[in-house]
Amino acid sequence: MDGLFGLFVIYCLTAIVLFVVGLIQIIIKSSRNEPVKPGLKLLIISVIMVVIGFGACAVLLANS
């Protein structure tokens, strides 16, 4: 079970990093009047990762 917890922590940290990088990209590119599409993609990917990760965690907890 320790291995699964470690993977879950890495997964959550990855989602947080993607979210923060996407947010920073949106802020910087919007101030320069550049397209913000890459930053929005990172935000969407991070939200999807969070939803999938917590869904998988709920399934694992329900089966234990």
The set of residues, in sequence order, having a beta carbon less than 8 Å from that of 39 and lying 6+ positions away, is: 22, 23, 24, 25, 26, 29
pLDDT at res. 5: 77
Total number of domains in the chain: 1
What's the pTM?
0.81
Its domain, for residue 21, covers 2-63
pLDDT at res. 3: 76
CA–CA gap between residue 10 and residue 14 (Å, rounded) = 6
pLDDT tens track of the chain, all 64 residues? 567 778 888 888 999 999 999 999 999 999 999 999 999 999 999 999 889 888 887 787 788 7
